[in-house]
Each structure stands twice: as C-alpha cells, then as structure tokens.
Amino acid sequence: MKIIVVGANGTIGTAVSKELESNGHEVVKVGRNSGDYQMDMTNIEDIKLMFEQIKEVDAVISTAGAANFDDLSELTPESNEVAVMSKLLGQINLVLIGQHYINEGGSFTLTTGVIMDDPIKGGVSSAMAGGGINAFVQSAAYELKRNLRINNVSPNVIEEALEDYGDFFKGYTAVPASKAAKAYLKSVEGIQTGQTYRVYE
Amino acid sequence: MKIIVVGANGTIGTAVSKELESNGHEVVKVGRNSGDYQMDMTNIEDIKLMFEQIKEVDAVISTAGAANFDDLSELTPESNEVAVMSKLLGQINLVLIGQHYINEGGSFTLTTGVIMDDPIKGGVSSAMAGGGINAFVQSAAYELKRNLRINNVSPNVIEEALEDYGDFFKGYTAVPASKAAKAYLKSVEGIQTGQTYRVYE
C-alpha cells in the first residue's frame, strides 16, 4: 500500500515508517520541515494541497500533534489553542479533507496518548485533544463512505522519549516505539474501524 | 449558593435553574440574548467581563454549546469550527478563566451528551466536542486549586426536545429535563470531582 505518515520524523513516526516498510509498504514521509513532503497540518490549505499532490493513497497515518504542557492554573484560552489547532483539529482535518481523496477501502489512523485516560500534571490541554480524537474516531467510523476505515492509537510514554518526558510520567510503563508501531500496522492491514488501540504496557 | 447558569433559557438550563431555585440557591441566568446577563461564550473577552461583573460566584453551570449536525461526508474544517468554538472551547474557557474568579470551594459543571458514547448520523462534530470535554474534566479536576471542583453531565436526548431532535435519536431512551437537572444539583452540592454523570435512562 501507499501510505502517508504525517510526523514521520518523530519518535513514533520513525518506528511506524520502519514497521510499514519492513512489511512491504511504500511510505510517503511527511513533516513540517523534513521528509519526502513538507506540510503544516494546522493549515487547511496545506492539507488540501498535499492530497492534491500525493495521489493514489491507500492509508493516512498521523503521529503528529503539538500541545502546551501548562499547569491548569496557567493554562489560558490562548495557550490551549496550540493543542486545539494541532493535536485535535490538525489530525481531524486530515480526515475531513482526506476522506474525499484517498483510495476506496483506505484507512486513517490517528494518535492520542495515555494521558487522555490517566492524567498527569500539565496534561489538561493534551488530554482534551485526545478525548476529542477518541470520540471523533468512534463516531466517524460509522459514517465514512467507500469502505474507508478509521482508528486511533493511544500509546503510553515512549521508551525512546523518556529522556525528554520521563519526569512527567513517573510510575508509568514506558513502551518501546517499535511496540506502539505494531498497532498502526494492525490498523492499516486489519479490518477494524472506530477503535482506539491502547498500547499502555 | 450564588450560581451562574449559562444557557439558562434552554431546555436543560430552564430545568436546572428551577431545580436549583427550589433548593434555595440564587441563580444568575446567562444567555446570548436572554436572562439576567447577556454573554457570548465563544468570545473570550465576554467571559472575562462576565466574571468581573458578576462577583462572589459559588458555582458555574454550562448547559450551552452549539454544534453543526452535518453528515461526515459534508462536514468540513470550517463547519466543524462551530462545535469547536462553542460546545468545546466555550465551555472550557468558562473554566480556564473562571478558575481565577469563583469562590474557594466552588464548582464548575459542564454539559455533553449521549452521542459522545453512542454515535448518531451527523453527530461527529458534537461527539468530538463531548469527548474533549469529558477528558478535560477528568484531567482538570486533579489540578484545580482552592478546593474547586469540576464535573460534566451527559444526558440522553431530552424528552422536551423530542419534537426537534427525535428523528436523530430513534430508539434512544429520552429522559425528562427535570431528571437531567438532578445531576447538576448533585455536582453542585456534592463532594465529587472529575466525574461525568451519564443520565442515559
């Protein structure tokens, strides 16, 4: 299959691309400033242009999405916008626009994270985006046409990212990126839709 | 207690106001074009002004929030913005701003609905907002200071609204607004925080 991976240069995206390639898929690596194609998913026109330029796509995977990690007492409507525009709407707009472009029988796989279920200090904005994605995926699956499917992968903190994020996730079970990557492969190659794959241990 | 009800003129808001008043509370009814005070919760400045002008508030209840009910194939990044700005961020911004204003020991109670758990055709945008609120409430509860609390009420389709919405909710169990209103009273007068009260039957 020809598969777009948005965020292919990130910790999860790198592992997902490797897993897909080792299973014989063609991966188009998309990033803001890296990869085969550059695209800013907070920009609706950028997303449209990507789907007009990268044709005959069978699957879209997003492992991208930014959010501020402010304590709630310092979180403002303005600082919350980062998660809204990127992690929430960036990923959702890939689906709203992409549903009209990708091949029949294709799939979307989005990404959230453990903190939507298991909160950490400063994680409110990210949790909000994750909860929104989770409900979107569950609902959208019933309405997608042309046998399109949609799933979500929600990993625990990633082992390779512990140096940067470990202090936020004390006591959490880190999972290797290669293990999380299996859930994306399952979403792409499987029959399921509307699911959130929780890779929490 | 002195309680702000945003959306007090709506079907749920009317029942909630009545329930609170019959329990001896002072209700400040807030609406876009009706009530004791006019405020548009999609406008951040409007929310700030409300908290500056209505003082000594013990609880804030939101029963407001708009969303488009487009089929997914017709839902666009632009039409999805209604739910994002109103149902999702309007309610969340009441908390992000209000946390600095309301009295110690006070509470926030937000509103979602059954379709975040149990999807209907055309409900994707609203479900997304509900899922976001649900995760926000669960996470924010742990971080609120000054003994503030936060909960969410998620009712099934409301009996009094069946004439308008019944066709979307065939086979769902309608609940009277007065029954949903009890969950808001429980949120305001109880000790719990971080909860979603599902009033589904």
**Tokens matching residue A175:** 């999972």
pLDDT at A19: 98
pLDDT at B144: 98
For chain A, say whether B116 makes contact (Cβ under 8 Å): yes
User: Which residues in chain A have their CB less than 8 angstroms from residue B134's CB?
Assistant: 131, 135
Would you tell me which residues 25-54 of chain B have a C-beta closer than 8 angstroms to some C-beta of chain A? Answer: 44
Number of domains present in the structure of chain A: 1
The domain spanning residue B136 has which CATH number?
A: 3.40.50.720
* ipTM summary value: 0.97
Distance CA A84, CA B87 (A): 13
- Nearest by CB to B92, from A97, A128, A134: name it: A128
pTM of the model: 0.98
Span A37-83, pLDDT tens digits: 999 999 999 999 999 999 999 999 999 999 999 999 999 999 999 99
3-state SS of chain A: helix, strand, coil percent to 5?
A: 45, 20, 35
| % of chain B residues with pLDDT over 90 | 100
User: Which residues in chain B have their CB less than 8 angstroms from residue A121's CB?
Assistant: 142-143
Length of chain A: 201
Boundaries of domain holding B169: 2-199
Q: Where are the alpha helices (DSSP H) in B44-146?
A: 44-53, 77-83, 89-98, 124-140
Phi, psi for A54 (deg, rounded to 5): -100, 105
Q: Which of B10, B4, B3 is nearest to B158 (CA)?
A: B10
Would you tell me which residues 81-110 of chain B have a C-beta closer than 8 angstroms to some C-beta of chain A? Answer: 84, 88-89, 92-93, 96-97, 99-100
Residue B1, number of CB atoms within 10 A of its CB:
18
Span A146-194, pLDDT tens digits: 999 999 999 999 999 999 999 999 999 999 999 999 999 999 999 999 9
| DSSP 8-class letter at B194 | S
